[in-house]
Amino acid sequence: MRSTPTRLRAGSSTADQLTVRRHNLSVVLSHLRDRGPRSRARLAEETGLNKATVSSLVAELVERGLVREGEVERATVGRPGQSIQLDGDHVVAVGAEINIDYLSVLVLSLRGSVLAEKRLALDTANVEPALVLSRLGRLLGTVLRGLAKSDIRPVGLTIAVPGLVEVDTGVLRVAPNLGWADVAVVAEIRRLLGDPPYPVLLDNEANLAALAEIEAQGPERSADLILLTGAAGVGGGVVAGGQLLRGAFGFAGEVGHMRVRSGGPFCGCGRQGCWEAVVGLNALLTAAASEHDPVRDPSLDVEQRLAEIGSRARSGDERVLSAIAEIDHWLAVGAGILVNVFNPQLLVLGGYFAALQPWIAGSLRDELRRHVFAADAGGTRVAFSTLGFSGSLRGGASQVLDRVFQDPTLVEPIGGDRVAHEDVAQEETV
Amino acid sequence: MRSTPTRLRAGSSTADQLTVRRHNLSVVLSHLRDRGPRSRARLAEETGLNKATVSSLVAELVERGLVREGEVERATVGRPGQSIQLDGDHVVAVGAEINIDYLSVLVLSLRGSVLAEKRLALDTANVEPALVLSRLGRLLGTVLRGLAKSDIRPVGLTIAVPGLVEVDTGVLRVAPNLGWADVAVVAEIRRLLGDPPYPVLLDNEANLAALAEIEAQGPERSADLILLTGAAGVGGGVVAGGQLLRGAFGFAGEVGHMRVRSGGPFCGCGRQGCWEAVVGLNALLTAAASEHDPVRDPSLDVEQRLAEIGSRARSGDERVLSAIAEIDHWLAVGAGILVNVFNPQLLVLGGYFAALQPWIAGSLRDELRRHVFAADAGGTRVAFSTLGFSGSLRGGASQVLDRVFQDPTLVEPIGGDRVAHEDVAQEETV
């Protein structure tokens, strides 16, 4: 995902010059993200761009609210230079999520820090889609008004959903756990927000969570990773050869509906023996607690209910421990299939699976070695997400920020006027 | 896999000029492969290269034995031009395969036609690896001597094996159906062939068969395809987003060891319920015929045995039909998992599955729709390979030819001397 300076010959046309300029802005901005704050001189040295160009690029990035001057950097040789760093105060991206038991919104700064996060417990499957979207619109409205007051500009919003998405049209095709089909989520949210000037995107929650895991690894990221979301549904976000796997028609990663257990329990999709029917959150809760136990009450916050499950497991509750062992077993069966098929570097367990880490980590690794054909599970490592339930939110926001890193001119200069750059023609020829 | 002419500025260095020349040779050669025979004038028009350059490139390709003059093409306007086409008589690639019941070798011309194919029935699992390799070496020797007599030059050899391969070192790590582990196949075959001047490669049979299916589709090929090999083992070759999926450590595509049937039969790998244990050729034969029935005799040719199974099915043999129905059922379960996960454009059934097409095609398509979460099986089409048992051989040979299409200078000029190209500096600047 990193880029190198463009060494095209400038001067052939204005369009080419703007392309070169945009590319070099991206190189400098991405370099600051990947390598941290540094002086203009060091930026020039490391990117291969000349110093005058770097100064001009930095000036433009400052005007656009993307970088700012930081502390003085003491060079070992020569004059100390003013350090340049990403500006975390002006430009943000927003992630939102519609899931079975909750709605949530997260604001991510250009520097990758969370400026705000809100979650609303809501039994979405039993509420009309229009009403759910209206509640999400209100939640977003509150957050966006807060940003406006602080003069912070959103550059885009991505909405994560647990289902099949048409990315191009922003329509949720089908989400059986929500009971939704053909809902024009983007159009409705755009309407509720008064048609904002930035992009509003829709994507599958597992795809976005996989992007978040990749981001969380920093510049030395894995090219082959599978992220499993664990909630009522189980989704898979797959990065293979550095690319998010979407499939020929956008429907890849439906790991929750792999049939792993012949004659197993019925799934929300109507089929029998689907992986998510045996390892989803409901399978755990049904096995771990009686019907009127509060841990099974969808109107209560899911993290609180998982904390209660954890505390019962720690106190040796037999029913809870045997429910976890059953999940562990079937988790390994499905994970074994995925590792045989993809041979990823990393298998990351997210959502509620991460909350079970103390009880399943060791046995899952052992089981995986038994289920995978290649020796030592094909070299695949198992990891547990540290992003909690915010993975999809972060991934959605990162996806929007990534567009800015690729083309910083998407962000208008502070004050609103386009900056004229008369020094464009000075780009060096190599 | 297609390329466009390089429009670099020539003249900066000889290395650059050679790069440009090589690239443009590749453009012309690939264009003739993808679009068929055409005149120099038309080549110039369609590739954007100037006519003098095209003439010089064609002359070099003729000298290297890669293209030749063909029929006169009558243009609608202007003078008729001599048509140029790929030369199928001078340059070939060789594919070889070591599989459970046979060894085989195939010679593929630059034009994609099979010039020779030999198969030797051999119960490889019960013969020492060294002896199997020596038999393969002899088979290859016979074929190569035949080529030498006709003055046909091999540009490389790829050996397909049913197991985990280290592509870089040419070592077969493990192939449980052969009972092989850590066999240095490439080193041994190179030794047996007297260290030939061309590359000898080793790869997984399913990966190579997937490449062959992609090739067979011509220039408008799918970017997302799964090929299933069907023999004693079941392998998967996956092309996702136009790239062969190899995984982080080269062990992707081990679909035969997905656990699809809890408590199912034991697999050659020692595990229980693996897909290949329920849908592999041995599962069919065991269910379809008694122990001493000749269709279960591994020393007989596998295609003859399958023809016998087919003829029994056509005559209404209950035992055979019920064995096929059982294969069909489990084939759909595993295929459903793969389609849920990859959402390919095309799922191609190869090997012995293709021989079952008359009995399973319809029901498999229906079953798949039931097992796949996205509507209408996510748009995935099911196809049956027409390459028979030669898919891996063709894929292996194509892989070698593809290197020539990418860099035609890999093939020495006929006569052996390097051609001097004084016109290199005439490359146009754009």
- Which mean pLDDT values do the consecutive 10-residue runs of chain A (430 residues) have? 44 70 95 93 93 95 93 62 90 95 94 93 91 97 95 96 93 91 97 96 95 85 91 91 89 94 89 95 96 90 91 97 96 97 95 94 92 92 90 95 95 64 36
* H or E, element range at B22: helix B14-35
pLDDT of residue A81: 73
Helical ranges in A315-415 per DSSP H:
318-342, 352-355, 357-371, 391-406
Instruction: Name the residue among B164, B248, B261 with its Cβ closest to that of A345.
Output: B248
Instruction: Name the residue among A236, A249, A340 with its Cβ closest to that of B255.
Output: A340
Positive or negative, the CA dihedral A248, A252, A257, A261 is positive
**Gap from A90 CA to chain B (nearest CA, Å):** 36
Structure-token match 């417990």, residue found: A121
Q: What CATH number should be reported for the domain whose range is A219-388?
A: 3.30.420.40
Q: How confident is the model at residue B223 (pLDDT cuts 50, 70, 90)?
A: confident
Q: How confident is the model at residue B71 (pLDDT cuts 50, 70, 90)?
A: confident
For B:96-135, CB contacts with A below 8 A are none
- Asked if B8 contacts A430 with a C-beta cutoff of 8 angstroms, the reply is no
**Gap from B84 CA to chain A (nearest CA, Å):** 35
B379/A251 touch (CB, cutoff 8 Å), yes or no: yes
Positive or negative, the CA dihedral B48, B53, B59, B63 is negative
Nearest-angstrom CA–CA distance, B380 and B346? 5
For B:142-201, CB contacts with A below 8 A are 164, 173-174
Nearest-angstrom CA–CA distance, B202 and A146? 61
State how far Cα A64 lies from the chain centre: 24
Say which residue, B3 or A26, is predicted with more confidence. A26
Q: Residues of A with CB below 8 A from B337's CB?
A: 258-259, 337
Start and end residues for every CATH 3.30.420.40 domain found in chain A: 91-209+390-406, 219-388
- Chains A & B: contacts with CB separation below 8 Å: 156
DSSP-based three-state secondary structure for B184: coil
- Interface predicted TM-score (ipTM): 0.82
B249/A333 touch (CB, cutoff 8 Å), yes or no: no
The alpha-carbon radius of gyration of chain A (Å, integer) is 24
Nearest-angstrom CA–CA distance, A421 and A57? 10
pLDDT of residue A405: 96
Q: Kindly list the strands in the beta sheet with B67-73, ordered across the sheet, starting from the edge strand earlier in the chain.
A: B38-39, B81-86, B67-73
C-alpha distance from residue B116 to each of A388, B107, B144, B218 (Å): 59, 5, 10, 22
* Mean pLDDT confidence for B228-253: 91
Q: Which residues contact B282 (CB under 8 A, 6 or more apart)?
A: B232
B373/A251 touch (CB, cutoff 8 Å), yes or no: yes
Q: Chain B interface, mutation test: which of A7, A171, A258, most B Cβ atoms within 10 Å?
A: A258
Structure-token match 């290199």, residue found: B424
DSSP-based three-state secondary structure for B410: helix
Asked if B272 is an interface residue toward chain A (Cβ–Cβ < 8 A), one would say no
Q: What CATH number should be reported for the domain whose range is B14-87?
A: 1.10.10.10
For B158, other C-beta atoms within 10 Å of its C-beta total 25
Helical ranges in B231-280 per DSSP H:
275-279
What pairing do the DSSP bridges indicate for beta strands B164-166 and A381-384?
unpaired
Nearest-angstrom CA–CA distance, B137 and A86? 62
* Burial of A248 from C-beta contacts in 10 A (0-12 / 13-18 / 19+): buried
- Asked if A82 contacts A70 with a C-beta cutoff of 8 angstroms, the reply is yes
- Asked if A155 contacts A411 with a C-beta cutoff of 8 angstroms, the reply is yes
Nearest-angstrom CA–CA distance, A214 and A205? 14
pLDDT digits (tens, 9 = 90+) for B283-342: 999 999 999 999 998 878 888 999 999 999 999 999 999 999 999 999 999 999 999 999
Classify residue B176 by its DSSP letter. T
* Mean pLDDT confidence for B143-157: 95
- Asked if A60 contacts A77 with a C-beta cutoff of 8 angstroms, the reply is no
* Burial of A289 from C-beta contacts in 10 A (0-12 / 13-18 / 19+): buried
A255/B372 touch (CB, cutoff 8 Å), yes or no: no
pLDDT of residue A426: 38
Say which residue, B232 or A336, is predicted with more confidence. A336
Q: Residues of B with CB below 8 A from A226's CB?
A: none
For B213, other C-beta atoms within 10 Å of its C-beta total 25
Asked if B345 is an interface residue toward chain A (Cβ–Cβ < 8 A), one would say yes
* Burial of A249 from C-beta contacts in 10 A (0-12 / 13-18 / 19+): middle
Which chain A residue shows the shortest CA-CA distance from B347?
Answer: A248
End-to-end CA distance of chain A: 24
Q: Chain A interface, mutation test: which of B171, B340, B370, B372, most A Cβ atoms within 10 Å?
A: B340
DSSP-based three-state secondary structure for A159: strand
For B248, other C-beta atoms within 10 Å of its C-beta total 21
> Residues, chain A, total?
430
Asked if A2 is an interface residue toward chain B (Cβ–Cβ < 8 A), one would say no
pLDDT of residue B180: 94
Which chain B residue shows the shortest CA-CA distance from A338?
Answer: B258
Nearest-angstrom CA–CA distance, A136 and A122? 10
B238/A341 touch (CB, cutoff 8 Å), yes or no: yes
Start and end residues for every CATH 3.30.420.40 domain found in chain B: 91-209+390-406, 217-388
Q: How confident is the model at residue B79 (pLDDT cuts 50, 70, 90)?
A: low
pLDDT of residue B220: 79
Superfamily of domain B217-388 in the CATH hierarchy: ATPase, nucleotide binding domain (3.30.420.40)
Instruction: Name the residue among A236, A245, A333 with its Cβ closest to that of B240.
Output: A245
Nearest-angstrom CA–CA distance, B135 and A217? 50
- Please give the structure tokens belonging to residue B93: 């690639």
Q: Residues of A with CB below 8 A from B378's CB?
A: 247-249, 251, 254
DSSP-based three-state secondary structure for B299: coil
pLDDT of residue A17: 82
Start and end residues for every CATH 1.10.10.10 domain found in chain B: 14-87
B378/A243 touch (CB, cutoff 8 Å), yes or no: no
Q: How confident is the model at residue B177 (pLDDT cuts 50, 70, 90)?
A: confident
Q: Residues of B with CB below 8 A from A256's CB?
A: 373
For A:229-268, CB contacts with B below 8 A are 236, 238, 240-241, 243, 245-262
Asked if B430 is an interface residue toward chain A (Cβ–Cβ < 8 A), one would say no
Q: Which of A396, A389, A397 is nearest to A160 (CA)?
A: A396
Which chain B residue shows the shortest CA-CA distance from A342?
Answer: B252
In chain A, how many H helices and how many E strands?
13, 16
For B:4-23, CB contacts with A below 8 A are 9
What pairing do the DSSP bridges indicate for beta strands A91-98 and A153-161?
parallel
Instruction: Name the residue among B254, B269, B333 with its Cβ closest to that of A259.
Output: B333
B345/A372 touch (CB, cutoff 8 Å), yes or no: no
Q: Which residues contact B403 (CB under 8 A, 6 or more apart)?
A: B155, B156, B199, B410
Instruction: Name the residue among B247, B336, B374 with its Cβ closest to that of A378.
Output: B247
- The pairs formed by B190-199 with CB atoms below 8 angstroms and a separation of 24 or more are B192/B133, B192/B134, B192/B136, B192/B137, B192/B140, B192/B141, B193/B137, B193/B140, B193/B141, B193/B144, B196/B154, B196/B157, B198/B154, B198/B155, B198/B156, B198/B157, B198/B400, B199/B156, B199/B157, B199/B400, B199/B403
Q: Which of B287, B239, B233, B241 is nearest to B258 (CA)?
A: B233
**Residue A266 identity:** F
Asked if B217 is an interface residue toward chain A (Cβ–Cβ < 8 A), one would say no
Nearest-angstrom CA–CA distance, B25 and B255? 39
A248/B333 touch (CB, cutoff 8 Å), yes or no: no
- Asked if B371 contacts B333 with a C-beta cutoff of 8 angstroms, the reply is yes
> For chain B, how long is the longest CA-to-CA vector?
75
State how far Cα A116 lies from the chain centre: 16
Q: Residues of B with CB below 8 A from A248's CB?
A: 222-224, 343-345, 378-380
Instruction: Name the residue among A250, A269, A340 with its Cβ closest to that of B373.
Output: A269
Q: Which residues contact A378 (CB under 8 A, 6 or more apart)?
A: A339, A340, A343, A372, B247, B248, B249, B251, B254
A167-176, B75-84, B202-211, B253-262: segment of lowest average pLDDT: B75-84
B248/A9 touch (CB, cutoff 8 Å), yes or no: no
* Mean pLDDT confidence for B142-153: 94
Helical ranges in A87-152 per DSSP H:
129-149
Instruction: Name the residue among B164, B247, B337 with its Cβ closest to that of A342.
Output: B247
**Gap from B251 CA to chain A (nearest CA, Å):** 6
- Asked if A116 contacts A106 with a C-beta cutoff of 8 angstroms, the reply is yes
* H or E, element range at A347: strand A346-349
For A:45-104, CB contacts with B below 8 A are none
Nearest-angstrom CA–CA distance, A247 and B244? 13
B259/A336 touch (CB, cutoff 8 Å), yes or no: yes
pLDDT of residue B341: 96
Q: Which CATH architecture has domain B91-209+390-406?
A: 2-Layer Sandwich (3.30)
Structure-token match 């969380």, residue found: A216
Side-chain-facing half-sphere of B153: CA atoms under 13 Å: 18
Which chain A residue shows the shortest CA-CA distance from B244?
Answer: A241
pLDDT digits (tens, 9 = 90+) for B103-112: 999 999 999 9
- Asked if A157 contacts A94 with a C-beta cutoff of 8 angstroms, the reply is yes
For A157, other C-beta atoms within 10 Å of its C-beta total 27
